[in-house]
Structure 1
């Protein structure tokens, strides 16, 4: 396997400016409306609850819209990402709105060292993040290292069943990829990105992995964390299965056009570190 960090960093570095310029991420809304929150965090709110006064670390924060949203809810936030171009956009947005957010450049597995041993009340991972990590057990170790005693983990992620569906088939739902974590990654080269943009990209290769739901939960339990919630959802923030999905305006998310009850598209997992 090639250096997945370098490959994925190049992919995200090139896409960060286009994402920041797109209406999908809503930079202008953040600047003009001090109460505006990202769609992801708005969806999370019923399960996330009150985060005011908490110290938080957002792993794989990308361009920082979810990080800023958590800060607007009262958390004292730090964001971490491997892409310097993404962090440049995140810092620009935070500066424009006057948000005191600390952004740190590092890959997820290097987070405890990059953060100099700091611990947090909240470890938050937004949707579309865990798939870029090859080893979910190692990720759980990072979470354990970053959580203060009594601290909580909040993860919303694409469901591993959704990731395993063959997205090239529009006539039927069928599995085309591994559900369980495998040493061999998905090594794809696809043009474009998930926001509406006319930008053409040169770095289109991306390396990712799936992680079974049981594997993720078990990795946290093995570190001594207490799982406090697991909810599966029928929606996801992007058109993950083109030709088979419809956008639900009231949710701001996508669900299956037919038989939404047949496939979970995302999940929310919460855990707490014992005092």
Structure 2
């Protein structure tokens, strides 16, 4: 499989996931500012209640309230969670929060919020905060149920969102997740390696054909952490245009971010 003409026409973008763990908020805030100044395209955090690496009881902050603060702090970069957990909040509330951050980020223009979402997986979050964990299947069923409610609520809010809020969905399950992606997502994110990605894209294209969705309308996103430039080039050749890079506290390493920004600029210049 090679990239579609629509994918080839998209610029390469770099999103940085600033893990909200093991660092004071002031450090996270300053890191976000430095990343915007450096020219990253998207700032992400994640929607968990505890660290995912290092000390499991270390410093950690909540996703949505942080995104609202980052929306006010920044002026150019897009932002969102990689990804929101659908289980933790009522669907209509999620829609309203997303719309509100969209307006906070607009600064008199068009909003910059990306609604990244998924079905959830980290059992400790559920157990300690009192949410029913269920099964992987039940959580995916809930996501499929709730996304139409979220989209419907966006059409009812006053004021409405400043734009059609892009929906990013993470995950690679072929029977449920990729069908949900085909139905609702503007961006599909995965951690798939090159052979797996090629296979999954074929499955996603099949689902798009079945439901009547333009496969080329979905932007493909993948993770750069621990990838080589050669692998990134192969992912790009398959149609990946959004590349994410996770960094974690207590000391957020921006040197690797600058390296990948240079790679992005080189690719975009060559395509111009």
TM-score (norm 1): 0.36
More helix by share: 2
Q: Which has the higher contact order (CA 8 A, sep 6+)?
A: 2
